[in-house]
Structure 1
């Protein structure tokens, strides 16, 4: 059975958001959608709604070739394989090759802002994937360079609220956060767009914020003061190692601060509105809405 649209990583949070917006916001017929995952059993609710479900393993190119067969437009949500440097790029290149072989007409990919020459340690995965897409024979493609989700703030908010200190090596750099559900809506809009052009969108919130700005917003919502403490990069790494993170993982997380410090996440664009016709959700309002969850993080 053929379908118009396929979403990989469909059992994940972003994939679920994309499926929601395809079916509810844009009223795409469930029979025109394929939800693909390593865990197709986790997609039973979507299958009950009439969405096709298929097994896709990014380490098994045959599974991708089979899943992509007969589908016109495919959204590849970047995998979460960060513990093996370079492996994610291998997975993505295999997916692109499978899409070519299956005759996919338009490929979409979730990337990051300005991956070229970025100090972020996993940026080469995105840069290499973008290059492979551009070099492929697939007629059309869309690259969605997604800024950091609102929800990523919780990675820092927990330790900061517990200790009262936010240790930062970002040197006052800024981040134009965007809600994960806004990314899901924009990805769904791009997936069903009639255009077969080759396009790059950078999806951001309407404003950018420094760690000090974010700490102030969290402090106000949670009712506990957080002081931002600037530390050298190596100090940040060792602090995370001391808290129990494996050093390679700590270095990946610390490289986010380096990227923020050089302005890699500061750009604000109107690409979200171009795709959806809407303004992105406001970061300040979202932080206020999370007051209960933030207060629960205070020891």
Structure 2
């Protein structure tokens, strides 16, 4: 069975390929990337694959049985880009598509959900067997801010006491690889999230515990948080989006307690304390 991974030069794609090759060896694993040179170090077959170059995609999928479609990072362009890939997969007679969607995309208040809902609908209409992995938030989305918090002495956000059932990219990548290697039922939808939900106050307390410093969590109105992110150097549109995602988290948009992820990977998801320790290295 040949398995191809889109976005292979990205963080999730690389991790998924690492799991696949560790479990099956390099034969039959194909890395698809806009710039193949960026994935040459993976030691597997590479092919050029640019979501925007629709006319080239079907040829790049020749001989592929299972396609892992990692959602595009270009917010606002995703629906069209994903549609290009789905159409190409159908033309290349790919047998199954795995798609990385968003936790509870069908009902989520997170702004990213709308594009995922459209891609899910396109998959269902394509006639190609599919599996949808609705991924929750990456723990790294927050632990990447730890060093900034240590510099400023405070961890800021707009998530209130909203519970975040996050998991690490490695956890999600392992699930992706396991599903790709399995002969699971068609049209399956997984809701994937971490075992233990936490708040930003919990995160700040864990940072404090591990560093021996007092790093409180300061909850800000979304506009103030976005302004702080702009001051830190983020583009205004991205800053507004991040603040909005925190607000969605405060409304329960990033919570799930079904533990489907740990059941898939056969182990507990990575604890927050371990993720914080890794970020502090």
TM-score (norm 1): 0.88
Query: Deviation string for 1:204-256 (max 9, x for gaps)?
Result: 21100001001101111122211222221122122222333222111111111
Structure 1 pair 197–223 and aligned structure 2 pair: CA distance change class (3 A):
same
| C-alpha separation in 2, matches of 1:284 and 1:241 | 29
Number of residues paired by the alignment? 281
How far apart are the structure 2 equivalents of 1:69 and 1:78?
20
Distance in 1 between residues matched to 2:105 and 2:205, nearest whole Å: 29
Q: Which residue of 2 aligns with 1:16?
A: 14
Q: Does 2:152 align with 1:156?
A: no
Q: Which structure 2 residues correspond to residues 85-234 of structure 1 after superposition, within 5 A?
A: 86-138=76-128, 140-234=129-223
Q: Distance between the aligned counterparts of 2:176 and 2:113, measured in 1? A: 20
- Identify the range of structure 1 (232-241 vs 99-108) with the bigger mean alpha-carbon deviation: 232-241
Q: CA deviation at 1:116?
A: 3.4
- Alpha-carbon distance in 2 for matches of 1:171, 1:276: 30
Q: Distance in 1 between matches of 2:40 and 2:158?
A: 43
Q: Which runs of 5+ in 1 are unaligned?
A: 294-299
Unaligned ranges ≥5, structure 2: none
Q: What is the deviation of 1:45?
A: 2.5
| 8 A contact 2:36–2:48 mirrored in 1 | yes
CA–CA separation in structure 2 for the residues paired with 1:29 and 1:149: 27
> 1: distance between equivalents of 2:42 and 2:157?
41
Map of 1:64 onto structure 2: 57
Give me the whole-angstrom Cα distance separating, in 2, the residues matched to 1:183 and 1:233: 28
Q: Give the alignment's Cα RMSD to 1 decimal.
A: 1.7
Query: Distance in 1 between the 2:233 and 2:2 partners?
Result: 45
* Alignment-derived partner of residue 34 in structure 1: 30
Alpha-carbon spacing, 1:43–1:231, altered in 2? closer, same or farther (3 Å): closer
Taking the aligned partners of 1:93 and 1:254, their CA distance within structure 2 comes to: 28
Query: 1:281 deviation in Å?
Result: 2.1
Structure 1 runs of 4+ off > 4 angstroms? none
SS of structure 2 residue aligned to 1:175: coil
User: Does the CA contact (< 8 Å) of 1:120 and 1:252 recur in 2?
Assistant: no
Give how far 1:115 is off.
2.3
For the structure 1 residues 199 and 172, does the alpha-carbon distance in structure 2 shift closer, same or farther, using more than 3 Å as the test? same
Report the more deviating stretch, 151-160 or 187-196: 151-160
Q: Aligned partners of 1:175 and 1:186: how far apart in 2?
A: 19
Cα distance in structure 2, aligned partners of 1:230 and 1:191: 40
Partners of 1:207 and 1:281 in 2: CA distance: 9
On the 8 A contact 1:119/1:255 being kept in 2, the answer is: no
Contact 1:205 1:283 in 2 (8 A): no
Which residue pairs with 1:296 in the alignment? Answer: none
- Greater displacement, 265-274 / 114-123: 114-123
Aligned to 1:297: none
Secondary structure class of the residue paired with 1:172 = coil
